[in-house]
Structure 1
Amino acid sequence: MSKIGSSQSLPRIAITVGDVAGVGPELALKCAAIEKIKSRCVPLVFGPKTVLQAIGAKLNLNVPPSIAPTDIAGADSAAIVDAGDITSDQFEIGSVNEHTGRASFQAVDLAITQALLQDVDAIATGPIHKEAWHAAGIQFPGHTELLASRTGTSDFCMMLTSETISCVLATIHIPLADVATLLTTEKVLRAIRQSHIALSRRLGRSPKVTVCGLNPHAGENGLFSHGEETDIIQPAIAQSISDGIEVIGPLPPDTAFTPAMRATTDVYVCMYHDQGLIPLKALAFDDAVNVTLGLPIVRTSVDHGTALDLAGQGKANHQSMIAAIEMAIDLA
């Protein structure tokens, strides 16, 4: 929590704008002006000041005053923290490049530094563009891996959550063809344990965890698998049950998300990225939040991308960003 102020001081939430060519800047500016948000936290928008001012003027959005990173610890109202080495003539709205990638990385990197210093109480990240990061020579495939590296965390997981459904991923940003090779009992066990910890705190009780299989029909006892369910997933489930976690599986992925199963499941453990994100986005696209579990700092995020086709038009739905900020406040 905050290092300064009274016990009633509001948490400072770093809101990173993501890629400036996308919808992130307008979402951040919209959210920083919402009275409900400002009544619960001090929203600090991390992004390039001149670009945010230009986007704010174009879309007729309120742009808060800017402050230096050295002033963050004393911030008590909405502000821009100037972060990201880019100017308006180095990109076009709707088109990413190495400049937009570098700027979005720099904004997130500064927010992480401030969180580690405890000058901000949580980070809510806007959408980055992974190809832009790659073009800028950044080696991290996304936020999650950067956060893990910067905080020295190896025991981490990605959770996508909403009021409707929550999914934790055993593997994250890897090609589908590599999932079976890289999936391990330790990764599945970690996802189950992190799911249990996170949902126990959120629900105030022991959650019901459903683990998906990797293959069609959860492998059909080896007929449709190379032993992933029996050799990798089932041992993780058995250990979790021994540890006192309420967990079932591995279930066939094509029936795990039916209404009847969702009614008896608090959180799903999914073996790869799209296994969890397809049902989650189908059911809760506008209000789902990405939370990185296991970090020493609080990080939430929108669950959508940069939406380059909507950028600069003022049409982007900011509900997911609101949800991400509100969850960051709750966790902080």
Structure 2
Amino acid sequence: MTLTRPCIAITPGEPAGIGPELVAGLGDAFPEARLVAIADPALMDNVGAAVTPFDPSADPAPGQLEIVPVQLDAPVTPGVLDPANAAYVLETLRTAVDGCLQNRFQAMVTGPVHKGVINEAGQPFSGHTEFLAERTGAPMPVMMLAADRLRVALATTHLPLRAVPGAITDERLSRVLRILHDDLIRFYGLPRPHIVVAGLNPHAGESGHLGREEIETITPVLERLRGEGLNLTGPLPADTLFTPRHLADADAVLAMYHDQGLPVLKHVGFGHAVNITLGLPIIRTSVDHGTALDLAGRGMAESGSLQAAIREAIRMSRAGG
């Protein structure tokens, strides 16, 4: 399969949320790619999508939404969660991942899921990032969100705040920075990407008075990696890092934890930001929003982030797929 029209698998996510109708509304927005929904055909029909069965050997006309069927386990009411469909949500992800690993798809784009209802169904699930890493055998996934020129990656992902300091280890930080460095080169064409690194503590530890993680872990890692040729600045206090002076020549920011970096990113680009998982053997992008159960079935959902995620998946598949 050539990359003249890459096949992009799309998982609509929680069936009672806005994901299915967002996918249904894509229309002919991306004639340069083949969009393949991994979903229940009846669900997609209910939200007004015209779909055709996916055939890897075919060359359908631009603008058609193709589908690989995965059956729901229970009827869906928009806006109403049902743990009975948690297994369905996970099966759509497995199908998309396996298709990427088998080169049936050049990338996957994920719609929003509801972690709570999946866990209520007895399926341990902390997020797409961790699930995809386990399914692909990737030892260290890196979560990065991008909006306009701002890219924010995370040293840790979905952890309780009390667990973050113990997770900021020499090994983790070194691997995350190397993956971020390498994938910025691979997918963004940056020969020597400049990464600005946040400290963990207020004022980056205030010379040890507000915490010693910067002195004992973060700074030694940055110094060692600079010796290997990585272009790194930091650790900088997070409250002043996201200012024009520090971001002017930054290709990416590495935040130490989820809510240190992502509020800034989403303030800049909510509704058109893209979630990207680096460090995987496949390309995965995602929307920057949740299931929006209160909007489901009302025709009010906006597809800007989904379209941005698809656009980024297409670009990444051409750049380094």
User: TM class by shorter-chain length?
Assistant: over 0.9
Residue type of the partner of 2:11? T
Indicate conservation of the 8 Å contact 2:142/2:155, yes or no. yes
Q: Which residue in 2 is equivalent to 1:208?
A: 194
- Give 5+ residue unaligned stretches, structure 1: 57-61
Residue number among 64, 78, 86 corresponding to 2:51 in the alignment: 64
Q: Contact 1:101/1:128 (CA < 8 Å) preserved in 2?
A: no
Aligned counterpart, 1:266: 251
The alignment of Structure 1 onto Structure 2 pairs a total of residues equal to 313
> Could you say if the C-alpha distance between residues 151 and 73 of structure 1 is closer, same or farther in structure 2, counting changes exceeding 3 Å?
farther
Against the structure 1 CA distance between its residues 73 and 275, is the aligned structure 2 distance closer, same or farther, given a 3 Å change threshold? farther
Within 1, Cα distance between the matches of 2:220 and 2:69? 49
Aligned CA RMSD, in angstroms, stands at 1.6
Matched, 1:81 2:68: yes
CA offset digits 1:51-93 (Å, max 9, x no partner): 111122xxxxx422244xxx345463521221243343xx421
Determine whether 1:48 maps to 2:40. yes
What CA distance in whole angstroms lies between the structure 2 residues aligned with 1:63 and 1:195? 39
Take 1:100 and 1:12, find their aligned partners in 2: how far apart are those partners? 26
Matched, 1:28 2:23: yes
Which whole-Å CA distance do the structure 2 matches of 1:263 and 1:84 have between them? 48
TM-score in terms of structure 1 length? 0.90
Aligned match of 2:143: 158
Partners of 2:59 and 2:86 lie apart in 1 by 27
Return the match for 1:119 from 97, 101, 104. Answer: 104
Confirm whether residue 237 of structure 1 aligns to residue 212 of structure 2: no
Return the alpha-carbon distance in structure 1 between the equivalents of residues 150 and 24 of structure 2: 28
Q: For the residues of structure 1 that align with 2:236 and 2:3, how far apart are their CA atoms? A: 46
Listed as ranges, the gaps of 5+ residues in structure 2 are none
CA distance in structure 2 between the aligned counterparts of 1:304 and 1:187, rounded to whole angstroms: 27
Q: What is residue 210 of structure 2 aligned with on the other side?
A: 224
Question: Do the aligned partners of 2:183 and 2:279 also contact (CA within 8 Å) in 1?
Answer: no
Within 2, Cα distance between the matches of 1:245 and 1:9?
A: 34
Structure-1 separation of matches of 2:237 and 2:291: 32
Establish whether residue 292 from structure 1 lines up as the match of residue 292 from structure 2.
no
Aligned 8 A contact 1:164 1:283 in 2: no
Contact 1:84/1:106 (<8 A) preserved: no
Distance 1:105 1:84 in 2: 12
